[in-house]
Amino acid sequence: MTQVADPSLHRVVIVGGGFGGLYAAKSLRRSPVQVTLIDRRNFHLFQPLLYQVATGSLSPADISSPLRGILSDCKNTSVLMDEVIDIDPQQQIVKMQGQNIPYDSLIVATGVSHHYFGNDHWKTTAPGLKTIEDALEMRRRIFIAFESAEKELDPVKRQAWLTFVIVGGGPTGVELAGAIADLAFKTLKKDFRSINTAAAKILLLEGMDRLLPPYPSDLSEKAAVSLTKLGVTVRTQTLVTNIEDNIATVKQGDLIEQIPARTILWAAGIKASGMGKILADCTGVVLDRVGRVRVEPDLSIAGHPNIFVIGDLANFPHQGEKPLPGIAPVAVQEGKYLAKFITEQLRGNTLPPFQYEEVGNLAVIGQNAAVADLGFVKLSGFLAWFVWSFAHIYYLIEFDNKLVVMVQWGWSYFTRNRGARLITGESTLGRIETASNGDGRSPLERKSPVEV
Amino acid sequence: MTQVADPSLHRVVIVGGGFGGLYAAKSLRRSPVQVTLIDRRNFHLFQPLLYQVATGSLSPADISSPLRGILSDCKNTSVLMDEVIDIDPQQQIVKMQGQNIPYDSLIVATGVSHHYFGNDHWKTTAPGLKTIEDALEMRRRIFIAFESAEKELDPVKRQAWLTFVIVGGGPTGVELAGAIADLAFKTLKKDFRSINTAAAKILLLEGMDRLLPPYPSDLSEKAAVSLTKLGVTVRTQTLVTNIEDNIATVKQGDLIEQIPARTILWAAGIKASGMGKILADCTGVVLDRVGRVRVEPDLSIAGHPNIFVIGDLANFPHQGEKPLPGIAPVAVQEGKYLAKFITEQLRGNTLPPFQYEEVGNLAVIGQNAAVADLGFVKLSGFLAWFVWSFAHIYYLIEFDNKLVVMVQWGWSYFTRNRGARLITGESTLGRIETASNGDGRSPLERKSPVEV
């Protein structure tokens, strides 16, 4: 299918195919512009459900959609799988390894990754959750932990395999903790012979004084109660000060404790993607503490009215105060705003500044509960979970008809089964340790039952 | 959940959780034995559908089921995720890295991998299809090929990216070729802007004089006709003599040809898994040309009446002639036979020798056609495809209620969508080459339409 650049058309280049970039491209579908969407990956990732891949409920493809597929009907849009290495605002060119793309308007929407607060060496021990690969690595670690516990004869080491520490009590941490609790206390209960998976310890650590700090405090409280009921140990005002040799050192006030844990998952802190720095270098725009780009009321960057930053990478002061949170609805609204902004600009019109319309905050807790702050109403428990499911299915279906996810959810809701708990990757057996008693006996040869 | 070994029970150790091992374990469920199933992976893989993962139709988890989940209701069975490194037939012990497991009866069912006929260095260029990792690697290569073609400006190099060579015209080769044809000529047609995906060349090479050599020859003919209609170039009596620098050298009679192709997929030749050699070393059993273990009429190995080999790893002379083919129904029947054999043995009874009941041969060709030899009837076209779908869904549902696959299939049948075409893995962009014109211009800047 051949399509040639019409040199008379306004050229919009979008970097990043997340919610912001994707909705900008889709919304420009009928505008007299020529759009190029550049992404390092060939798919859009539905990040809000990444924790379900990490815990074996969904497959990567269930929460991903090929960008070309989503945009195939947007005839004015080309998708390019490539990585931007520089921007030249004078020549209005985006540079990649092998080619340059000229733009008239540039939208940067490359998001954020996780941040270890200066302890980047923790990354290998305590992986974060931003990409499909991250999620598969978490999944591998979680299920290898149970497999290793099953083989371990030393009760202390076995408990370390059955201890899961989740660092960070935001939505991702809360969702991971709830899902691991579901796994250990429900899904896997009947699957092992030597261990009791219900002996698992799941610790959720949060540095602030409550879970879900951006939410209303009564929802934070409800989330903590729900998680505790599921079997999660919630510890607030608790900081991780060291991660080494499968031991997490945590500090709560003056109390310092060492927790032996083979599985430590990172759900704290964000750091802007590298595009923030590239933009700062070439335009002098100001970055905030975590590297996000401070944007003007129309989402452009100071002094460069044709370069825009949206989504998690943007620091947009909401009502002159805190930056807007890094959630999908913000990115979607910003993408749609820019599509309209550019279209109107071409007609010689101007738009009022971007204004975020609150849609609320949602976090799910295990299989039946969630907390939701919808602005006009606050929900918790099953009703919030129902709203959460509906909201996610709605978004998923809107651009890729992910009927399959609905079936998968319906099915596992009633069966409590989790079919996607595969341990994959090249060195699958690498991380499993051998039984530690050294006498070569198997757990099956033990004379007496082992209660763990 | 604690369960202790009852020392009075007969101990059956099964190595390998494929069709053979799994059905042996399931069928021993009510027998007075204690079963240990050992596998390197934590899941059973439905290998017949692996090509659908490789071509982006299904996700790994859709065709895999956690072994513990499948066997959780078999209370006399323990699952062990580990790798067997040796066997001691005198002491009746299976050895792993960290532990030994004693057995009274041993069932080895570890299958086969692919074979490069002495050209193991082709492996990196022409990956085979036996594991989930293999399938994801094929998927990555197939979709990166289209992405790279989209960026390539040199028409010769572009065509090399759009050329897919499949080596081996057995069921796997036929199914891969058909699926890639569906992708190029239907699914991806609307998704690219610079290339015409229908310009793809898909070559299926077979060394024998017809496709699907074990099938009746009229079905081979029908398969070739169907594939040709789909757009696949079928070449029989064609051998690959070299694979180097993205060029496949092929020989057809005296004709030697060099085919520039960036994607070469291996679907030829099998080689027994390493357990064959371990068994030969410790028992002196005879291996066949490809390393499979020659078994006695009761599936045991000569001189060791309590060691059995089943599935693809076994060479069982069918009606005194050719070995049984390496297909799921053979393994399933062998597994069930052994369960009965061992159970009857414990009661002091003997069973007649194993006898394979023909269920037929099936191979699918693209989205609407297949060939099926059911013994009493030979089918081709849509009807065969329908039988094929039904047979696979039946097997899948029998042990894991893979309702999701059915929905996925139904959905993509009507929409021609393939949602699982993700390019994943650490060095995602590594294999994409940059545009070769060197002037840094993008395909979008080209002045004239490029017809490819």
Tens-digit pLDDT profile for residues A226-236:
999 999 999 99
Out of A170-179, A399-408, B197-206, B272-281, which region has the weakest mean confidence (pLDDT)? A399-408
pLDDT value at residue B435: 35
Does position B418 have pLDDT exceeding 80, yes or no?
no
Q: Identify whether B369 is part of a domain.
A: no
Say if residue B110 is in the same domain as residue B187.
no
pLDDT value at residue A49: 86
Q: How big is chain B, counted in residues? A: 452
Say if residue A246 is in the same domain as residue A311.
no
Mean pLDDT of B426-445: 40
Say if residue A231 is in the same domain as residue A182.
yes
CATH number for the domain that contains residue A283: 3.50.50.60
What pairs with residue B409 in β-bridges? none
CB pairs < 8 Å spanning A and B: 239
Q: Identify whether A23 is part of a domain.
A: yes
Residue B288 in tokens: 């066949």
Q: Identify whether A421 is part of a domain.
A: no
Residues of B in contact with A79 (CB under 8 A): 191, 193
**Which residue type is seen at A17?**
G
Residue ranges making up the domain that contains A245: 120-267
Say if residue A191 is in the same domain as residue A88.
no
Residue A200 to residue A121: CA distance in whole angstroms = 26
Exposed/middle/buried for B340, CB within 10 Å: 0-12, 13-18, 19+? middle
Mean pLDDT of B334-363: 93
Mean pLDDT of B53-79: 89
Mean pLDDT of B78-82: 95
Does position A131 have pLDDT exceeding 70, yes or no?
yes
Three-state SS string over chain A comes to CCCCCCCCCEEEEEECCCHHHHHHHHHCCCCCEEEEEEECCCEEECHHHHHHHHCCCCCHHHHEEEHHHHCCCCCCEEEEECCEEEEECCCCEEEECCCEEECCEEEECCCEEECCCCCHHHHHCCCCCCCHHHHHHHHHHHHHHHHHHHHCCCHHHHHHHCEEEEECCCHHHHHHHHHHHHHHHHHCCCCCCCCCHHHCEEEEECCCCCCCCCCCHHHHHHHHHHHHHHCEEEECCEEEEEEECCEEEEEECCEEEEEECCEEEECCCEEECCHHHHHHHHHCCCECCCCCEECCCCCEECCEEEEEECHHHEECEHHHCCECCCCHHHHHHHHHHHHHHHHHHHCCCCCCCCCCCCCCEEEEECCCEEEEECCCCEEEHHHHHHHHHHHHHHHHHHHHCCHHHHHHHHHHHHHCCCCCCCCCCCCCCCCCCCCCCCCCCCHHHCCCCCCC
Does position A24 have pLDDT exceeding 90, yes or no?
yes
Beta carbons of B422 and A132 less than 8 Å apart: yes
Residue B166 to residue A392: CA distance in whole angstroms = 40
The structural domain count of chain A equals 2
The DSSP letter of residue B241 is: E
For residue B281, what pLDDT band results from cuts at 50, 70 and 90? very high
Give the chain B residue whose CA is nearest to the CA of A36.
B444
Mean pLDDT of B30-59: 92
Structural domain ending residue among the three candidates B245, B268, B291: B268
Among candidates A2, A79, A133 on the partner chain, residue whose Cβ is nearest the Cβ of B196: A2
Residues of A in contact with B39 (CB under 8 A): none
Q: What is the mean pLDDT of chain B?
A: 87
Give the chain B residue whose CA is nearest to the CA of A400.
B419
Q: Identify whether B394 is part of a domain.
A: no
Q: Identify whether A419 is part of a domain.
A: no
Say if residue A100 is in the same domain as residue A128.
no
For residue B260, what pLDDT band results from cuts at 50, 70 and 90? very high
Mean pLDDT of A15-26: 96
Does position A434 have pLDDT exceeding 60, yes or no?
no
Structural domain ending residue among the three candidates B209, B233, B268: B268
Mean pLDDT of B403-427: 63
Q: Which bin fits A320, alpha (ψ -120 to 50), beta or left (φ > 0)? A: left
Does position A204 have pLDDT exceeding 80, yes or no?
yes
The model's pLDDT over B108-129, given as tens digits with 9 standing for 90+, comes to: 999 999 889 889 999 999 999 9
Does position B330 have pLDDT exceeding 60, yes or no?
yes
Residue B49 to residue B203: CA distance in whole angstroms = 21
Mean pLDDT of A414-435: 57
Is residue A167 within 8 Å of A222, Cβ to Cβ?
Answer: no
For residue A310, what pLDDT band results from cuts at 50, 70 and 90? very high
Give the mutation candidate from A191, A401, A447 for the B interface (greatest B CB count, under 10 A). Answer: A191
For residue A376, what pLDDT band results from cuts at 50, 70 and 90? confident
Say if residue B252 is in the same domain as residue B311.
no
Does position B439 have pLDDT exceeding 80, yes or no?
no
Residue A222 to residue A366: CA distance in whole angstroms = 13
**Which residue type is seen at B252?**
Q
pLDDT value at residue A448: 33
Give the chain B residue whose CA is nearest to the CA of A417.
B69
Beta carbons of B81 and A432 less than 8 Å apart: yes
The model's pLDDT over A69-102, given as tens digits with 9 standing for 90+, comes to: 889 889 999 999 999 999 999 999 999 998 999 9
Catalytic residue among A175, A344, A426, A433: A175
pLDDT value at residue A7: 65
pLDDT value at residue A419: 63
Say if residue A296 is in the same domain as residue A340.
yes
pLDDT value at residue B57: 84
Structural domain ending residue among the three candidates B268, B299, B316: B268
Beta carbons of A429 and B36 less than 8 Å apart: no
Beta carbons of B59 and A64 less than 8 Å apart: no
pLDDT value at residue A410: 61
Out of B62-71, B270-279, B368-377, which region has the weakest mean confidence (pLDDT)? B368-377
Min distance B134 CA to chain A CA atoms (Å): 10
Say if residue A307 is in the same domain as residue A326.
yes
The DSSP letter of residue B61 is: G
Say if residue A260 is in the same domain as residue A281.
no
Among candidates A36, A40, A429 on the partner chain, residue whose Cβ is nearest the Cβ of B40: A429
Among candidates B1, B5, B423 on the partner chain, residue whose Cβ is nearest the Cβ of A444: B5
Residue A214 in tokens: 């951006």
Say if residue B297 is in the same domain as residue B175.
no
Q: Identify whether B371 is part of a domain.
A: no
Q: Identify whether B67 is part of a domain.
A: no
Q: Identify whether A207 is part of a domain.
A: yes
For residue B409, what pLDDT band results from cuts at 50, 70 and 90? low
The model's pLDDT over A43-62, given as tens digits with 9 standing for 90+, comes to: 999 888 899 899 988 888 88
Give the chain A residue whose CA is nearest to the CA of B84.
A429
Catalytic residue among B175, B257, B321, B334: B175
CATH number for the domain that contains residue A210: 3.50.50.100
Give the mutation candidate from A88, A99, A142, A426 for the B interface (greatest B CB count, under 10 A). Answer: A99
Q: List C-alpha distances in Å: A6 to A14, A30, A74, B76.
A: 18, 15, 15, 70
Beta carbons of B434 and A189 less than 8 Å apart: no
Residues of B in contact with A100 (CB under 8 A): 440-442
Beta carbons of A190 and B1 less than 8 Å apart: yes
Among candidates A132, A420, A426 on the partner chain, residue whose Cβ is nearest the Cβ of B133: A426
**Which residue type is seen at B369?**
A
Does position A279 have pLDDT exceeding 60, yes or no?
yes
Say if residue A311 is in the same domain as residue A223.
no
For residue B436, what pLDDT band results from cuts at 50, 70 and 90? very low
Give the chain B residue whose CA is nearest to the CA of A425.
B133
Beta carbons of B36 and A100 less than 8 Å apart: no
Say if residue B257 is in the same domain as residue B163.
yes
- Nearest alpha carbon to residue B313 among B330, B336, B298: B330
Q: What is the mean pLDDT of chain A?
A: 87
Is B175 known to be catalytic?
A: yes
Residue A24 to residue A14: CA distance in whole angstroms = 8
Min distance B192 CA to chain A CA atoms (Å): 7
pLDDT value at residue B417: 59
pLDDT value at residue A438: 34
